Amino acid sequence: MISFIVHGGAWDIPDDLVEAHRNGVRKALAIGWKILSEGGSAVDAVEKAVNYMEDDPTFDAGRGSFVNAVGEIELDASIMNGTTFRAGAIAAVQNIRYPISLARIIMDKSEHILLAGMGAVRFGREHGILQCKNDELLVGRELERWRQLQSKQKFSTKDAFRKKTPHDTVGAVALDKNGVVVSGTSTGGTPNKYPGRVGDSPLIGCGTYADSSIGGASCTGWGEAIIKVVLAKTVIDMLEHNGGDAVIGAQQSIQRLEKKAEGFGGVIVLNNKGIPAIAYNTPRMARAYRTSEMNSDDVEV
C-alpha cells in the first residue's frame, strides 16, 4: 500500500481562515499523491508537497513565515529517510525560498545532518540553491503582526499558541511502493522569537522522525515542549511497542506532551503498513491524507 499524509499546523484556526488551510493541505496532498501513485519515491512526494506549502502564505513556512524580534525571517526544516536512516536539516537560515529542499540536499550530499545559519546557505549555494530576497518571504500580514508585538512588554514562545495567534508549521509523511517511509517538516518558527531560536522542526526525533520498519511522524506545536519529550521519536517508539497501532501511538504521545511538558500541538503519523493517524490538543489542526485503499482524499481542519 502507498500512503500519504500532510499537515498545515495545529492551533485555534479562525473560521475565516479554515478554507484557506483546507485548500492548502488538499493541494499539497494532491501533489504528493500524484508522485506516489505514478511510482515515485516517498522522498520526492514529501519534498514537493512541502514545497507547495512553503510557497503558500497561508502557512508559517517559507513565504509567509513569522518575523523574529529584530525583524528578520529565520527558517527551520528537516527530512528523514526511514530506510537509509539518512537525514538532513537546517536551522536559523535566512533568504531561502524552499527550506525543505535545502534540508534534502544536506541529506543527499553531506556527511552531516544539521547545518545552521550561513553555513547552511553556503552549502545550498554550492549545490545550486540560491538565496532569495527577504521581500520574497515577507508578507504584509506578518509585518503588521510584528509591529503590533513590539508594543508588548513580553511575548513568549508559549504565547504563540494561546488564543488565535497562528502557528502553521507544515509537514508530510509518505510510504511509497518500495516500503520506504519518509518524513519532513518545515517552519518559520514562532512570532517575535529571539534571533537564533531553534524549535523542534529541524531536530531529528523532535519534529521529524522515520523508521521504515515502524513508521514516520511529523509534529507541529510549541517547539520548546515538543523538544522536551522528543515527540516524533516518542510516537515511533510507542508504535514499536504497541504492535504498530498508529492511532493509539499518536494519542498517547500528545497526552505525554501535555502531561510532561504542559505542551500543546499535533502530530501526523503513518505506520509501516501505511495506516494514518492524527492527534492534537489544540482547537484545530489542518491535515489531509490518502491511502491506496481509499477512493478519495480525507481533508479536515
Active site residues: 169
Buried b / exposed e over 84-121, threshold 16 CB at 10 Å, is: eeebbbbbbbbbbbbbbbbbbbbbeeeeebbbbeeebb
CB of 131 closer than 8 Å to CB of 95: yes
Beta-bridged to residue 5, according to DSSP, are 173, 289
With cell 524552499, the residue in question is 98
Rounded to whole angstroms, the Cα distance separating 281 from 262 reads: 11
Rounded to whole angstroms, the Cα distance separating 13 from 5 reads: 19
Rounded to whole angstroms, the Cα distance separating 203 from 142 reads: 25
Instruction: Give the up-direction half-sphere exposure of residue 75: CA atoms within 13 A in the CB hemisphere.
Output: 33
